[in-house]
Amino acid sequence: MFRAACSGMLVFGERRRSECPRQLLQELQAAAARPIEGRADWIDRHGRLVDLFIAAAGLAQGLLDERFARERRDRLDAAVTTVDAVLRRLAGSVIDSWTTGATPSPAVTTGAIAALATLQLPERVESKEAEGYAYYALYPESYAMAARGLAGTSPTVIGLRSIGLGLGAVVAAGTGASLSLSLRPIGHPFERKLALANGLRDSLAGRRDRLFAVVDEGPGLSGSSFAAVADVLERLGVPRRNIHFFPSHHNPPGGAARPETVARWHAAPRHVVGFDRLALDTPEPRHRLAAWVEDLTGPALVPLQDIGAGRWRELSSTGRVAPASPRKERRKFLLRGERGVFLLRFAGLGRTGRAALRRARILAGSGFTIEPLGLRHGFLVERWQEEAVALDANRDRAGLVVQLADYLAFRARHLPAPAQSGATLAELDEMRRRNIAGLLASAAHEARLPAPPPEHLVRRVETDNRMHAWEWLLRPGGRLVKTDAIDHCDAHDLIGCQDIAWDVVGAGIELGLSDGEFDALCAGLRSRGCALEPRLIDFYESCYLAFQAGNFTLDAQAPLLEVDRRLLCTLTYRYVALLKKRCLREL
């Protein structure tokens, strides 16, 4: 049976990239040398500067973490001060651009990046996706505004890697920090610890009478990263009142936090500026989101309508069947302007947003998705599809299968992905077994699950990963259009880019294809030049169901409207029933 209150589902994953730092540095130097001031719109110029800052912080994070992996501790030395000087200089340019509109010259940006070339560069570094920049509309400018609360106090700033390295530099630049460095929390996500070299520990102890600013995104379920720093500082004699937190939101740590962590959090001085205050409720007209996209949409006639957290369902014909998970949804807004109605959707800062725009243009160019009008500082702009209606999957099944084959074959041919861009089959197998163990009774442990096929069979593409029935619209004239199709292969979960067979399996399950329709879909892909490996399809089926069941189980455990909880539980029960029927041999 399904245990509705189960936990321990394996759903989320970290995006890590193994890269050559010399190549990254060359790309940064080229980007820094390109004049920014020639761009027509201030927000475009500013966005490119922020992208450069994020990329530089990513390289610096990789370098410091590569050293940490070798030495197993953080220390304070010339490399740390060089990284701080580079990022502070770039952060200062970002702050100046945001507050005054000033655009730095290439000499400023190239001079900052050049200092990174003085560091020891290993053959490879591993960089971690900055999740706040990629998925959750976290902007460095928010931390610049939050830093005003400590302006002129010359605090010691401690940024927590990964994303806290760059955010800490922003706070350091905004406060005039006397010392700024970054630390790597290690250990179990709910029990993070720090590993400090003696010299660094002594330096922090010598500053015990000063203010400290601890900078990161979050807090998450446990708040243990912030707590780990506070624990160390308090043991070194820093008064609790002198430890200031710079988080990304106003919420306290989640249900996995220790009582003492929660108590400390509520008592600590905190400095937070959210996206709404940064770009919606700001008195500065240039800083408002509507102004960012005005060159694409024309002036807004009324205030933006926030349609995130499931509120878009009130405007869509698919809303009655689509679930919502507010904690994971990207920010979305509806803009009603002189040129029509537009959807503004957060697609990511830096390379994440650029990749989403690239996919959107490729797919829209062949009519499979809605045409993107542009990307402005992380937000993708497209026309709102007022005339499109929800897909009725019970009508014209043959035509549906043909269009599915067209769409999936196109993705397979035109959106190839690197070999290491998604979960391995072994990682999917681990997820499958853990989720099934949590979702089903003990008989599940004896299920004859298909073994993972050889990894070399996977031909990775930028898969859709969102084939659910409510993600399809029908345009006037009968043309099927796919929504939410550009970034689930690069989302904050463990799936990532898979073989196109993953989407084939997803289409079969989500659209209720019969055995004959599923065979027709597979034949359609093969006739379009897309080979499908039967062993992958067999393996992916149980993995897909286990992932979706675990995903919706976690969603249902979050604070929700009761109607959404019931809908999510209904969906979960369906996946669990299919697991039993198709993969667990009618246990």
The residue from 338, 360, 383 where one domain ends is 383
Q: Both 342 and 262 in a single domain?
A: no
- From first to last of its 587 residues, the chain has per-residue pLDDT tens of 333 334 578 888 877 788 899 999 999 999 988 876 555 689 999 999 999 999 999 999 999 999 999 999 999 999 999 999 999 999 999 999 999 998 888 888 999 999 999 999 999 998 888 899 999 999 999 999 999 999 999 999 999 999 999 999 999 999 999 999 999 999 998 999 999 999 999 999 999 999 999 999 999 889 999 999 999 999 999 999 999 999 999 999 988 899 999 999 999 999 999 999 999 999 999 999 999 999 999 999 999 999 988 888 888 765 557 787 777 789 999 999 989 999 999 999 999 999 999 999 999 999 999 999 999 999 999 999 887 788 877 777 888 999 999 999 999 999 999 988 999 999 999 999 999 988 886 545 546 788 999 999 999 999 999 999 999 988 877 788 999 999 999 988 999 999 999 999 999 999 999 999 999 999 999 999 998 999 999 999 999 999 999 999 988 887 777 888 888 888 999 999 998 887 555 44
DSSP states of 455-481? GGG--EE-------GGGEEE-TTS-EE
DSSP states of 521-575? HHHHHHHTT----HHHHHHHHHHHHHHHHHHHHHHHHSS--HHHHHHHHHHHHHH
In a domain, 312, yes or no: yes
Q: Both 463 and 526 in a single domain?
A: yes
Q: Both 48 and 126 in a single domain?
A: yes
Cα 519 to Cα 521: distance, rounded to the nearest angstrom? 5
In a domain, 292, yes or no: no
Q: Both 320 and 450 in a single domain?
A: no
In a domain, 376, yes or no: yes
Q: Both 272 and 340 in a single domain?
A: no
Domain with residue 525: its CATH number is 3.90.1200
Domain that holds residue 68: 16-276
In a domain, 4, yes or no: no
Q: Both 467 and 505 in a single domain?
A: yes
pTM of the model: 0.93
Q: Both 100 and 172 in a single domain?
A: yes
The answer to whether the Cα torsion of 20, 21, 23, 24 is positive or negative is positive
In the structure, how many helices (H) and strands (E) does the chain have? 20, 16
Domain count, the chain: 3
Q: Both 328 and 413 in a single domain?
A: no
Q: Both 245 and 377 in a single domain?
A: no
Q: Both 376 and 419 in a single domain?
A: no
The residue from 332, 359, 383 where one domain ends is 383
The residue from 346, 362, 383 where one domain ends is 383
In a domain, 552, yes or no: yes
Domain with residue 57: its CATH number is 3.40.50.2020
In a domain, 561, yes or no: yes
Q: What is the distance, to the nearest Å, from the Cα of residue 522 to the centroid of all Cα atoms in its chain?
A: 32
